Structure 1
Amino acid sequence: MTKHNNEPTFTIGELAKEYDITPRSIRFYEEQGLLSPKRTGQNRIYCNKDRVRLKLILRGKRLGFSLAEVKTLFDLYDTHLNSAAQLETMLELTEQKRAVLNQQLEDIQMLMSELDEVEARCREELAELKRGKLA
């Protein structure tokens, strides 16, 4: 970390190491319009805002949000002085994500039940086969 105009700045390598991702990933987020570092020649200089955004991008991905959804939230934040629009959108996205996850959870639970039934049938048939050979 260095300082530029009394503000901490970071290199792509420092951010990659801090968040355990590749510099290529960070460049990809930049290409997608999610980060906008300053440039000094060929070098990217990231400010604290970029660092916070990178953290939010990674959190959003972990929660299952697409990069487009993250970008929508960033755009709302950048264009609205109050955060009500951003918060309302975040609530809508959260509700949608929760509905998808609940459906996936139901599907997984159903599959687990089916696996339990198949496993039980296999064990019963195997036990019958073993009993038949022993008799």
Structure 2
Amino acid sequence: MAQSTVADRSNRDRTYSITELCREFDVTPRTLRFYEQKGLLHPDRRGWTRLFSYRDRARLQLILRGKKVGFSLEEIKEMLDLYNLRDGQLTQLRVSSTKFRERLEALRKQRLELEDAISDLEKTITVVDGMLKEREAAETTAPRRAANGE
């Protein structure tokens, strides 16, 4: 048990370069600088070099997950910033749970709308392809009729 605690602390003390985070999360340096500018990440600086903490790495992971499911950066920042309230994360967990459930419902609604749109498009393709076959068939028989003097 003591060994894992020591390992956890050493991981938490570790810093990451912008290059390391870009490689690990497949993002660009510009993306990390943008998140820093928006107050989502808070790297330390040594001259021109940005050093990202274990916390920044964890926040980046959460930012990317949030974006993947459609949260805005403002919503993500709001949820992440609630961590600092020092209430045992109670507020953060409550707010996040509510937002996650709302987002899940919105995604489910979008899925139904997409399924309807796909179904409509499939029906339209069937109709258009049928009309296309009719026109192409008429076009190929018309020159034959003309050649036969019909």
Runs of 4+ in 1 over 4 A off after TM superposition: none
How many residue pairs are counted as aligned between the two chains? 131
Among 24, 45, 56, which residue is 1:39 paired with? 45
Q: Counterpart amino acid of 1:116?
A: T
Q: Secondary structure at the residue paired with 1:102?
A: helix
Among 70, 74, 81, which residue is 2:80 paired with? 74
Q: Distance in 2 between matches of 1:71 and 1:97?
A: 20
Deviation at 1:98, TM superposition (A): 2.6
Q: What runs of 5+ residues in structure 1 fail to find an aligned partner?
A: none
Decide which structure has greater strand share: 1
Decide which structure has greater helix share: 2
Q: Which moved more, 1:124-133 or 1:24-33?
A: 124-133
Aligned-pair identity (%): 36
Q: Is the 8 A contact 1:73 1:90 kept in 2?
A: no
Deviation digits for residues 74-125 of structure 1 (CA, Å, limit 9, x no counterpart): 2334435222222122111221233234323322332232122112211121
Q: Distance in 1 between matches of 2:82 and 2:106?
A: 18
Paired residue for 1:86? Answer: 96
Q: Residue 103 in 1 paired to residue 113 in 2? A: yes
Paired residue for 1:57? Answer: 63
Q: CA RMSD in A?
A: 2.2
Highest CA radius of gyration, 1 or 2?
2
Q: What runs of 5+ residues in structure 2 fail to find an aligned partner?
A: 1-8, 146-150
